[in-house]
Amino acid sequence: MSEQTYQSISDAICHITLHRRFGPYWRAALLIAAALTLLLACGVVWLLHKGVGIWGLNVPVAWAFAIANYVWWIGIGMGGTFISGALYLARKDWRNSINRYAEAMTVFAVSVSGIFPVLHLGRPWFFYWLFPYPDVMNVWPQWRSSLEWDFFAILAYLTVSILYWYVGMLPDLATLRDRAPTLGKARFYGLLALGWRGAATQWQRFETVSLLLAGLAVPLVFSVHSMVALDFSEAVLPGWHSTLFPPFFVAGALFSGFAMVLVLGIPMRRALGLQQYITARHLENLAKVLLAAGLVVDYSYASEIFTAYYGMDPYEVAVTTHRMLGPHAWIFWGTIFCNVLSIQLLWSARLRRNHAVLFAVALLVLIGMWLERFMLIVTTLYQDFTPSSWGMFYPTFWDLAFLAGSLGLFFLLFLLFVRLLPVVSMFELRKLVPRASGEPP
């Protein structure tokens, strides 16, 4: 970073957005993501036409893929908010080069996750009944239900994430506007920049807003994941009815969020030549947080299993045993492999600094976290209190299509983000320059 100047940073980042030719790999990736998004769109149309029965849901397993996808995606979203918000508040400046794309990841992940709770409804077109609006029947939502609170938590989280991301991008959008080679691009970025001129009063307000939004976003991260957890804890079901869930879900969200930051960051910095900005140190820091979060998650697993057997509630014991030994045992052991065993590699500094290994571990963590969500939902539901009603869950084509389609949509948005918006926060990087080069701030 020592040789960087304000000029060089702006040049390099603006070049990516304004001048760089995005080659066949980007196009191919975009095509695949677009195709998967189209699959999702077809799925949505079919779902609205036929009903949620196109998925493999049944009684007793009335929630499965869609809710697993939802929890997974919203957990991934957490990584970005944590990096940009919590590290901002803690004045960890090293975050400045990764927060932009991490925030973008948050916005896209939360948007994608938000699709599922709505489509998962039997009658999605009435989702707004969860909203406390004054209707003629004087019917209010049912405030004891965690789903109700979850609805607000997602809405609030999505709103703040988008605001935080967009507001934080304004100075950079103005920079792009000023450097735009064509009138069209200038208009595009000019419109997005909302008249940012870089005046001192604007900067002052900008900093205040950023601080406020960061202050808002960080508690929201905890509230939203605690609420997601309460969607399960509130139930009487063995395997769900646990006070451990809220912290467990927050840790899990952090875990998967950081994994996704790594999975996106490692190829992106290579493809866009951002090694100078997203450095090996960044990745190593992320790896350490990943390991730390992972250990908390692992502790939760151990604690859950211990509590079940120590508490000797026959239903808890049965669910825990079925998880480990039942027909879905491979999911449990897959989770253990991905979320417990694989991250132990990160204790080694050598492996942690090997980006291929780091990428692989992060990818495994993402897979493991999805499996964990699935396990948590399905293996609780499929064998609960009454053995006569025990069932199985078998996914249909559309279950898989919605999972793949959600990935497609997420990557489509992210690829467009990489192409159209500054992937690294220029103005925040510039803040690092004076200190590095000894210039006055």
Partner 1 sequence: MSPLMPSLPFDLEAARAHLAAARGPVFWRSLEELADNAGFVHWLRQQQPQLAQALSLDRRGFLQFMAASLALAGLSACGHPPQDQIVPYVQAPEGQIDGLPRFFATTLMREGYARGVLVENRMGRPTKIEGNPLHPASLGATDIFAQAAVLQLWDPDRSQTLMNRGVTSTWDAFAAAVVQATERHARDGGARLRILTGAITSPTLSAQLGAVLEKFPGATWHVHEPLGNANAHAGARLALGVPLATRLRLDRAKTILSLDADFLSDPAAGVRYARDYAATRAPESNQGTPSRLYVVESTPSLTGGMADHRLALEAARIERFARLLARELGINLEVSGAEDAQHQRWLNAVLTELKANRGASLIVVGASQPAWVHALGHLLNDALGNVGTTIEYTDPVERNAAQAGTLSELVGAMQAGRVDTLWILDPNPVYDAPASLRFDEGLTHVPHVIHLGLYRDETGMRAEWHLPMAHQLESWSDARAYDGTASIAQPLIAPLYDGRSAAEVLAMVLGQTPQGRVLVRKQWQDQLPDESSWNAALQQGLIPNTSLPPRTAMVSTAFLTQIKPPPPAAAALELLFRADPTIGDGSWANNGWLQELPKPMTQLTWDNAALVSPALAAQHQLNNGDVIELRLAERVVQAPVWIMPGQAARSVTLHLGYGRRQAGRIGDGRGVDAYRLRTPANPWVESGLQIRRTGARAELASTQHHFNLEGRDLLRVGTWEEYRSNPHFATATDPYPGTPPSLYANRPPGEYAWGMSIDLNACIGCKACTIACQSENNIPVVGKDQVQRGREMHWIRVDRYYEGDAANPRAYSQPVPCMMCEHAPCEVVCPVEATVHDAEGLNLQVYNRCVGTRFCSNNCPYKVRRFNFLQYADDTTDTLKAQRNPEVSVRRRGVMEKCTYCIQRIQTAHIEADKQDRRIRDGEVLTACQAACPTQAIRFGDLSDAGSAVAQAKASKRDYVMLGELNTRPRTSYLARLRNPNPLLGEDPT
Residues forming the site for partner 1 (CB under 8 A): 50-54, 56-63, 120-123, 126-127, 129-130, 139-142, 144-148, 151, 231, 234-237, 314, 318, 381, 383-392, 394
> Which CB atom, from 261 or from 318, has the smaller least distance to partner 1?
318
Q: Give the whole-angstrom CA distance, residue 283 versus residue 274.
A: 12
C-alpha distances (whole Å) from 121 to each of 20, 31, 66, 152, 231 are 44, 30, 10, 16, 15
| Backbone dihedral region for residue 154 (phi beyond 0: left; psi -120 to 50: alpha; all else: beta) | alpha
Q: Give the whole-angstrom CA distance, residue 121 versus residue 127.
A: 7
- 3 state DSSP class of 49: helix
> Which CB atom, from 25 or from 394, has the smaller least distance to partner 1?
394
CB of 106 to partner 1, least distance (A): 25
CB of 118 to partner 1, least distance (A): 10
CB of 237 to partner 1, least distance (A): 7
Phi, psi torsion values for 78, nearest 5 degrees = -65, -35
Q: Give the whole-angstrom CA distance, residue 141 versus residue 148.
A: 7
What contacts 51, CB < 8 A, 6 or more positions away?
122
CB of 236 to partner 1, least distance (A): 5
> Which CB atom, from 181 or from 314, has the smaller least distance to partner 1?
314
> Which CB atom, from 47 or from 170, has the smaller least distance to partner 1?
47
CB of 40 to partner 1, least distance (A): 20
> Which CB atom, from 206 or from 232, has the smaller least distance to partner 1?
232
> Which CB atom, from 18 or from 54, has the smaller least distance to partner 1?
54
> Which CB atom, from 59 or from 356, has the smaller least distance to partner 1?
59
C-alpha distances (whole Å) from 309 to each of 150, 316, 321 are 30, 8, 9
CB of 264 to partner 1, least distance (A): 32
Q: Which secondary structure element, helix H or strand E, spans residue 37, and what is its range? A: helix 24-50
> Which CB atom, from 237 or from 418, has the smaller least distance to partner 1?
237
CB of 52 to partner 1, least distance (A): 6
> Which CB atom, from 124 or from 247, has the smaller least distance to partner 1?
124
Burial of 142 (0-12, 13-18, 19+ CB in 10 A): exposed
Q: Which secondary structure element, helix H or strand E, spans residue 411, and what is its range? A: helix 397-420
**Residue 173 · residue 13 · CB < 8 Å:** no
> Which CB atom, from 383 or from 406, has the smaller least distance to partner 1?
383
> Which CB atom, from 269 or from 322, has the smaller least distance to partner 1?
322
Burial of 314 (0-12, 13-18, 19+ CB in 10 A): exposed
- What is the greatest pairwise CA distance in the chain? 75
> Which CB atom, from 83 or from 237, has the smaller least distance to partner 1?
237
C-alpha distances (whole Å) from 290 to each of 208, 251, 359, 388 are 30, 10, 12, 42
CB of 157 to partner 1, least distance (A): 17
What contacts 267, CB < 8 A, 6 or more positions away?
359
CB of 274 to partner 1, least distance (A): 43
CB of 155 to partner 1, least distance (A): 13
What contacts 270, CB < 8 A, 6 or more positions away?
none
CB of 147 to partner 1, least distance (A): 4
CB of 306 to partner 1, least distance (A): 21
Paired tokens of 408:
């497609």
Phi, psi torsion values for 286, nearest 5 degrees = -60, -40
**Residue 370 · residue 72 · CB < 8 Å:** yes
